[in-house]
Amino acid sequence: MRTCQNCHNKWSWKQTFKRSFTLGGGMICPYCEEKQYVSARMRKRGSLIPLIIIPMIMSGNLFFGPSYIALFALIGIIPLYAAMYPFFAELSNKEELF
């Protein structure tokens, strides 16, 4: 979970959310100020989700005809995805590449 691997303090949703947008270079722990990285496992999962959702919406378009619903669904998913992300984030002490 969102526990710092260095000081074992748990990050709140807000803390994780804010730090999720700092790309590259890791995230600074609010308690011990050590750098934490999103685990490779989490990053892989995170990049898979849009790959599943987008084709689902696209195939919905094929079955029900093109509609604005799909467009709204797509727009709606982005903030939802960003809001859910901190719940699944896993932290790691070092940058994992694989």
Which residues contact Zn ion (rule: CB under 5 A)? Answer: 4, 6-7, 29, 31-32
Give the shortest CB-88-to-Zn ion separation in angstroms: 19
89 close to 38: Cβ distance less than 8 angstroms:
yes
CB of residue 4 vs Zn ion: minimum separation in angstroms? 3
Supply the minimum distance, in Å, between the C-beta of residue 3 and Zn ion. 9
- CB nearer Zn ion, residue 74 or residue 96: 96
Residues 6+ apart with CB under 8 A from 58: 70
Whether 16 contacts 89, CB under 8 Å: yes
* C-beta of 15 vs 70, nearer to Zn ion: 15
CA–CA separation, 91 vs 97, rounded Å? Answer: 13
Q: Which residue, 31 or 88, is less far from Zn ion as judged by CB?
A: 31
Q: Which residue, 1 or 7, is less far from Zn ion as judged by CB?
A: 7
Taking CB atoms within 8 Å and a gap of at least 24, the contacts of 72-79 are 77/53
Give the nearest distance from C-beta 71 to Zn ion in angstroms.
41
